[in-house]
């Protein structure tokens, strides 16, 4: 999931464009991008989209960002969108493992009622000081949790922390990535709000990639190609990973050297992961 494009649930004219675009995943938003007075309508529109032949035919990962667990909209959101074509529920402002367990129970009830065999996953947003403090517990709270996503606006703005402070952003990205890693999960990076600043987006995406993030959220289609490019393993990374795996197959020792580097189990696991990612990706655009 190199790129995850947010699509406002109240903008149905954008749905076909998003499905036809290059984003690996689409997150139909019922939360911040939808006015309170428009939430019921957006809920219906997203539910219709998920039940459509177009959604059924799409190979994209489809998510819905519902309203928070403590809001009056949460239960109605979940009831509207749970179905066979929903891959992940993106839950905002998660602050505890109990929050995750509550969402998991609600999903299980709806899946049972609707005869769904495939469990729907949870993408949990870390967007508050408390959520950050309990991020590892959130990640490990339930097998449905597929990954963590860091959200900077809700986390930083109330505290007056400058979004442009690269050191602060790096520290938060690392903390969330390590919390996800403790549970064996992936992490997805936050949005970069200035969609006209392509270089700023690329710089932040590269920093996230170096920290092991799988991809970045996008708020504008123009950011999708940048995310896909940054988070795609390079030809050099793929070639080296292939050589590591081949050398590991020939080696009779627990550790060996390759190109002057000591290679052991963690490097072999990483090389296999790079090759697995490369196999799943479409060929680069001509």
First-last CA distance in the chain: 21
Residue 110 shares a structural domain with residue 46: yes
The per-residue pLDDT for 284 is 58
Residues 154 and 271 in one domain: no
Extended beta strands in 119-198, E state: 121-126, 145-150, 186-189
**In a domain? residue 258:** yes
* Domain end (from 194, 215, 231): 231
240 and 104, same structural domain? Answer: no
Indicate whether 104 and 178 sit together in one domain.
Answer: yes
Interstrand relation of 186-189 and 215-218 (parallel, antiparallel or unpaired): parallel
pLDDT at 285: 55
Dist CA 212 CA 259 (whole Å): 23
Distance CA 27, CA 64 (A): 5
> For residue 122, what pLDDT is reported?
98
How distant is the alpha carbon of residue 143 from its chain centre? 16
How many distinct structural domains can be found in the chain?
2
* Cβ-contact 136, 179 below 8 angstroms: yes
Q: Tell whether 285 is covered by a domain.
A: no
Q: What is the value of pTM for the model shown?
A: 0.86
Buried b vs exposed e over 99-129: b needs ≥16 C-beta within 10 Å? bbebbbebbeebbeeeebeeebbbbbbbbbe
Q: Tell me, what CATH number does 69's domain have?
A: 3.20.20.60
What per-residue confidence (pLDDT) applies to 96? 98
CA count, 13 A, side-chain hemisphere, 283: 1
Q: Are both 79 and 106 inside the same structural domain?
A: yes
Q: What pLDDT was estimated at residue 282?
A: 66
- Same domain for 258 and 204, yes or no, is no
* Domain range for 261: 235-280
Mean pLDDT (10-residue bins), the chain, 286 residues: 96 97 97 95 98 96 97 97 98 98 98 97 97 98 97 94 94 97 96 94 95 96 96 76 80 79 77 73 60
114 and 202 housed in the same domain: yes
Domain assignment of residue 286, yes or no: no
- 146: in domain: yes
Phi, psi of 185 (to 5 degrees): -110, 170
Distances (CA, A) of 145 to 26, 132, 183: 18, 16, 9
Residue 231 has a pLDDT of: 92
CB 185 within 8 A of CB 139: yes
What's residue 267's pLDDT?
72
Strand partners, 64: 28, 89
| 122-152 pLDDT, tens digit each | 999 999 999 999 999 999 999 999 999 999 9
> For residues 205 and 191, what is the distance between their CA atoms, to the nearest angstrom?
10
Among 196, 216, 231, the domain-final residue is 231
Let me know whether 247 and 222 are in one domain. Answer: no
Tokens of 54: 């177009």
Q: Which of 144, 62, 135 is nearest to 107 (CA)?
A: 144
In a domain, 143, yes or no: yes
Q: Both 241 and 191 in a single domain?
A: no
- pLDDT tens readout for residues 222-265: 999 999 999 987 667 777 777 878 787 888 777 878 888 888 77
- What is the maximum alpha-carbon separation in the chain? 66
């Amino acid at each position: 999931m190199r790129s995850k494009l947010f699509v406002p649930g109240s903008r149905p004219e954008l749905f076909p464009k998003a499905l036809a675009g290059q984003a690996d995943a689409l997150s139909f938003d019922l939360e911040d991008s939808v006015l309170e007075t428009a939430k019921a309508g957006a809920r219906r529109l997203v539910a219709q989209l998920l039940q459509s032949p177009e959604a059924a035919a799409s190979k994209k990962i489809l998510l819905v960002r519902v309203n928070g667990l403590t809001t009056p909209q949460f239960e109605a959101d979940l009831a509207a969108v749970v179905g066979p074509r929903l891959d992940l529920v993106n839950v905002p402002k998660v602050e505890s493992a109990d929050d995750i367990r509550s969402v998991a129970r609600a999903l299980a009830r709806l899946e049972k009622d609707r005869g769904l065999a495939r469990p729907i996953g949870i993408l949990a947003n870390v967007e508050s000081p408390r959520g950050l403090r309990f991020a590892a517990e959130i990640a490990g709270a339930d097998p449905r949790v597929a990954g963590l996503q860091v959200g900077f606006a809700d986390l930083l703005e109330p505290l007056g922390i400058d979004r442009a402070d690269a050191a602060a952003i790096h520290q938060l990205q690392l903390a969330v990535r390590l919390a996800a890693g403790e549970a064996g999960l992936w992490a997805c990076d936050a949005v970069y709000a200035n969609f006209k600043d392509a270089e700023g987006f690329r710089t932040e995406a590269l920093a996230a990639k170096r920290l092991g993030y799988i991809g970045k959220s996008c708020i504008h289609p123009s950011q999708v190609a940048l995310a896909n490019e940054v988070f795609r393993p390079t030809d050099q990374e793929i070639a080296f990973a292939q050589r590591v795996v081949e050398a590991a197959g020939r080696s009779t020792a627990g550790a060996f050297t390759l190109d002057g580097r000591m290679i052991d189990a963690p490097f072999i696991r990483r090389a296999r992961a790079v090759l697995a990612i490369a196999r799943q990706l479409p060929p680069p655009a001509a």
